[in-house]
Amino acid sequence: MGKPTGFLEYLRELPLDRPALERLRDWNEFHLHMEEKKLREQGARCMDCGTPFCHTGRLFSGMASGCPINNLIPEWNDLIYRGLWREALDRLHKTNNFPDFTGRVCPAPCEGSCVLGINAPPVTIKNIELEIIDRGFKEGWVTAEPPPTRTDKKVAVVGSGPAGLCAAAQLNRAGHTVTVFERADRIGGLLMYGIPNMKLDKATVQRRVDLLTQEGVKFVTGTEVGKNFPAEKLLKEFDATVLCTGATKPRDLPVEGRQLKGVHFAMEFLTANTQSVLNRKPGPDFISAQGKDVIVIGGGDTGTDCVGTSLRHGCQSIVQLEILPKPPLERAADNPWPEWPKIWRQDYGQEEAQAKFGSDPRIYLTTAKKFIADDQGAVKGVHTVQIEWKKNEKGQFVPQEVPGTDKVLPAQLVLLAMGFLGPEQPLLEQIGVARDARSNAKADYEKYVTNVQGVFAAGDCRRGQSLVVWAFNEGRGAARECDRFLMGRTDLP
């Protein structure tokens, strides 16, 4: 597992990013590549730790610790150290259908649980993963692999996001005839329209879709099951169905002025922008931040994507409101390894905002009380107030306003990026799928079967909003259980 003394000899290094102000001029990916010698040194840092936690894939304190798809990380780190790239790719593909996606957008819980990370910077697992798969495509090692034989079973996968694509890939590998239904005009779900092009180039997504098509997966776009394709027809024509519709119901902010023009959910903004990038012209739903004071409400990845997109539009200013306190620079005492380190980080959007405007755009412990209208019925400002977290009579921490901290910030565009509440309900209702207390499709983890015979659920529509890599875990797992249901046994991992 790497060089026995490598973690003592080499420091953690990552490839450079394109300069922030330069990359704001386009929608291209901003990470650069690292030379092979440096990559092999980074692989050498994998320390033969005896009991690796990087591939455990467990939840600690409600957060991922280690890789949810159990990537064989120490093995391919060692292979990279030895220069065996083709073998490393084979090991990577044993557990991960699409490392070209996770290598770009996964937050790398594997690195948070790296044993070396207890008292030193962890191994650069995510970057090594990306370099393996990118080299695999460059060398022509990644090719379509249709199944050698076909069963007589037909499976429908509803939703083409990360869970749906993994389920489709695995079920097709088992020899079933798989049809993926997607209501959007392109395949990919969150991967296509939820993540901006500068983080995940859409040619990378389409490349995988093309390979799956060559392997025999059928994709049907512009088709929403339950609307222009009856749910009853789905259940009648297919031997099994896997629901991978995601958690697409956004959390709203029902305060005064919510109905004003210029107040949008983040996904409306991001989806329309990616469509305009792909179509090379703004569409009818395009929302421009050019020349505007923009306020993003929400401090997660989606909020960061709104910041980066607004900057590329040429916004006049950008502010990101975060209701939580600013995290510490190092792990707190109540956040021990191997939990995910809840520390302060500056993502690409904040880096770019600082480069352009001179400061990080985030304001912590702050919430919006109301949106202020101009005389045209459009938003012109956001009334904010600072909050503090205190226990209520039930002992729960709740936000309470700090008197005298009210402030009005200018804004002609407000983007709500506060997460998602669960899946949209009409399809689940039509099929008769039971829901849990959070409105998700009710199906046990690692079983994925719903109360409806032959219907499985996986990904965010089952577990709630989560990481892309958890969607991979569930898509693969649902395919395994679906194959077992269809054939009485399964060889899928």
What is the DSSP code string of 367-400? EEEEEEE-TTSBEEEEEEEEEEEEE-TTS-EEEE
Residues 260 and 408 in one domain: yes
Residues 73 and 220 in one domain: no
The per-residue pLDDT for range 446-462, each reduced to its tens digit, is 999 999 999 999 999 99
Q: What is the pTM of this model?
A: 0.95
For residue 1, pLDDT over 80 is answered with no
Quote the pLDDT of residue 63.
Answer: 84
Residues 261 and 403 in one domain: yes
Residues 264 and 389 in one domain: yes
Does a structural domain hold residue 443?
Answer: yes
Angle at 420 between CA 414 and CA 424, to 5 degrees: 115
For residue 18, pLDDT over 90 is answered with yes
Q: Give the residue numbers spanning the domain of 330.
A: 252-418
The per-residue pLDDT for range 224-243, each reduced to its tens digit, is 999 999 999 999 999 999 99
Helix (H, G, I), strand (E, B) or coil at 232: helix
For residue 61, pLDDT over 90 is answered with no
Does a structural domain hold residue 143?
Answer: no
Residues 257 and 361 in one domain: yes
- Looking at 418, 438, 467, the residue that finishes a domain is 418
Within its chain, how far is the Cα of 86 from the centroid? 27
Does a structural domain hold residue 1?
Answer: no
210's CB contacts (< 8 A; 6+ apart) are none
Quote the pLDDT of residue 58.
Answer: 87
Residues 306 and 351 in one domain: yes
Q: What does the block give as tokens for 33? A: 């590549």
Quote the pLDDT of residue 205.
Answer: 98
- Looking at 103, 138, 173, the residue that finishes a domain is 138
Dihedral sign for Cα atoms in the order 109, 113, 117, 118:
positive
> Residue 56 in contact with residue 65, Cβ under 8 Å?
yes
**Average pLDDT, integer, range 464-488:** 97
Quote the pLDDT of residue 433.
Answer: 97
The CATH number linked to 408 is 3.50.50.60
Quote the pLDDT of residue 2.
Answer: 77
Residues 170 and 120 in one domain: no
For residue 485, pLDDT over 90 is answered with yes
Does a structural domain hold residue 149?
Answer: no
Q: How confident is the model at residue 249 (pLDDT cuts 50, 70, 90)?
A: very high
Number of domains into which the chain is organized = 3
User: For the chain, how long is the longest CA-to-CA vector?
Assistant: 71
> Residue 59 in contact with residue 65, Cβ under 8 Å?
yes
Residues 235 and 283 in one domain: no
Does a structural domain hold residue 467?
Answer: yes
Q: What is the DSSP letter of 446?
A: T
| C-alpha pair distances (Å), 307 with each of 31, 174, 333, 416 | 18, 42, 31, 12
Average pLDDT of every residue of the chain? 96
Does a structural domain hold residue 189?
Answer: yes
Residues 173 and 304 in one domain: no
Residues 381 and 398 in one domain: yes
Torsion, Cα 481 486 490 493, to 10 degrees, reads: -40
Residues 358 and 263 in one domain: yes
Quote the pLDDT of residue 60.
Answer: 86
> Residue 49 in contact with residue 327, Cβ under 8 Å?
no
- Looking at 390, 418, 446, the residue that finishes a domain is 418
Dihedral sign for Cα atoms in the order 392, 396, 399, 402:
positive
**Average pLDDT, integer, range 122-131:** 97
Between CA 67 and CA 473 the distance in angstroms is 9
For residue 262, pLDDT over 90 is answered with yes
Between CA 294 and CA 317 the distance in angstroms is 6
Angle at 279 between CA 276 and CA 280, to 5 degrees: 75
Does a structural domain hold residue 190?
Answer: yes
